[in-house]
């Protein structure tokens, strides 16, 4: 334990409380419909604390999005590795995609990451965040598939971006239609084979 631990702990605790409360509310009601008084009330602190830890409401939202992307990427990674009985880089891509869609069954998560985040933080910021998590692993998956000679040689980052865009859209589709989308996406990915 460091000497200045209590201060650090205190700081981290309120920060976590704020992010957790914000996550819940942003997920339930969206960014615009959630007020900072609501958030601090749920977190058990005052607005002074909020604006001490974060520059503004956007910055708090960015922190929530960052965290959410991190846990999401972890979930996807596990899904892509699990079930190694059926190998092959293309299969891994499809498994990862299914893992993404499964993780995106949460309404609030969809709202925050796909709908609100681009509008609130801007595409550039979202890309930067995503680039450090889900998109990063997707690029690696695409690269692996290319190096294995499983699909055509294409620039991996643009391809990953476009695949990501498709998965985002598919995630927003009503649950009973999602299988159709999965089939079509499978066909699109399979069409990349040499």
Partner DNA sequence: ATCATAACAAACACGCAGCATGTTTGAATG
Partner DNA sequence: CATTCAAACATGCTGCGTGTTTGTTATGAT
Q: Which residues bind its own copies (CB under 8 A)?
A: 30-32, 115-116, 118-120, 122-123, 152, 154-155, 158-159, 161-162, 164-166, 168-170, 172-173, 177, 180-181, 183-185, 187-188, 190-193
Identify the CA nearest to 31 among candidates 52, 14, 55, 56. 56
Name the residue nearer to its own copies (CB basis): 71 or 162.
Answer: 162
Tokens of 65: 């999005």
In the complex, the smallest distance separating the C-beta of residue 95 from its own copies, rounded to whole angstroms, is 19
Our CB check for its own copies shows the closer of 12 and 119 to be 119
Residues in 18-37 at the binding interface with DNA, rule: CB under 7 A:
34-37
CB of 5 to DNA, least distance (A): 6
| Gap between the Cα atoms of 169 and 167, Å rounded | 5
147 binds DNA (CB under 7 A): no
SS3 57: helix
Q: CB under 8 Å to 7, separation ≥6 — which residues?
A: none
| Partner whose footprint covers residue 20, from DNA, its own copies, none (CB < 5 to 8 Å by kind) | none
Distance CA 38, CA 191 (A): 49
Residues facing residue 193 across a β-bridge: 151
Cβ at position 36, least distance to its own copies in Å: 15
Which residues are CB-contacts of 102 (< 8 A; sequence separation ≥ 6)?
79
Which of 30, 60, 31 lies closest to 45 in space, CA to CA?
A: 60
In the complex, the smallest distance separating the C-beta of residue 119 from DNA, rounded to whole angstroms, is: 15
Residue 37 interacts, among DNA, its own copies, none and using kind-specific CB cut-offs from 5 to 8 Å, with DNA
Nearest to 50 by CA among 39, 62, 66: 39
Question: Which of 1, 3, 124, 175 touches DNA (CB under 7 A)?
Answer: 3
Chain residues binding DNA by CB under 7 A are 3-7, 10-11, 14-15, 34-38, 45-49, 51-53, 55-58
């Amino acid at each position: 334990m460091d000497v200045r631990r209590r201060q650090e702990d205190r700081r981290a605790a309120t920060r976590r409380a704020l992010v957790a409360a914000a996550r819940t509310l942003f997920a339930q009601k969206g960014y615009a419909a959630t007020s900072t008084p609501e958030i601090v009330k749920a977190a058990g602190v005052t607005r002074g604390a909020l604006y001490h830890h974060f520059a503004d409401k956007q910055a708090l939202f960015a922190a929530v999005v960052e965290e959410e992307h991190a846990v999401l990427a972890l979930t996807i990674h596990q899904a892509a590795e699990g079930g190694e009985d059926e190998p092959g880089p293309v299969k891994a891509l499809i498994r990862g995609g299914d893992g993404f869609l499964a993780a995106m069954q949460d309404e609030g998560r969809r709202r925050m990451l796909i709908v609100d985040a681009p509008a609130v933080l801007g595409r550039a910021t979202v890309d930067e965040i995503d680039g450090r998590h889900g998109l990063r692993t997707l690029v690696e998956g695409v690269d692996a598939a290319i190096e294995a000679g499983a699909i055509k040689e294409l620039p991996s980052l643009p391809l990953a971006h476009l695949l990501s865009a498709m998965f985002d859209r598919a995630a927003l589709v009503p649950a009973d239609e999602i299988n159709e989308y999965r089939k079509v996406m499978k066909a699109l990915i399979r069409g990349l084979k040499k």
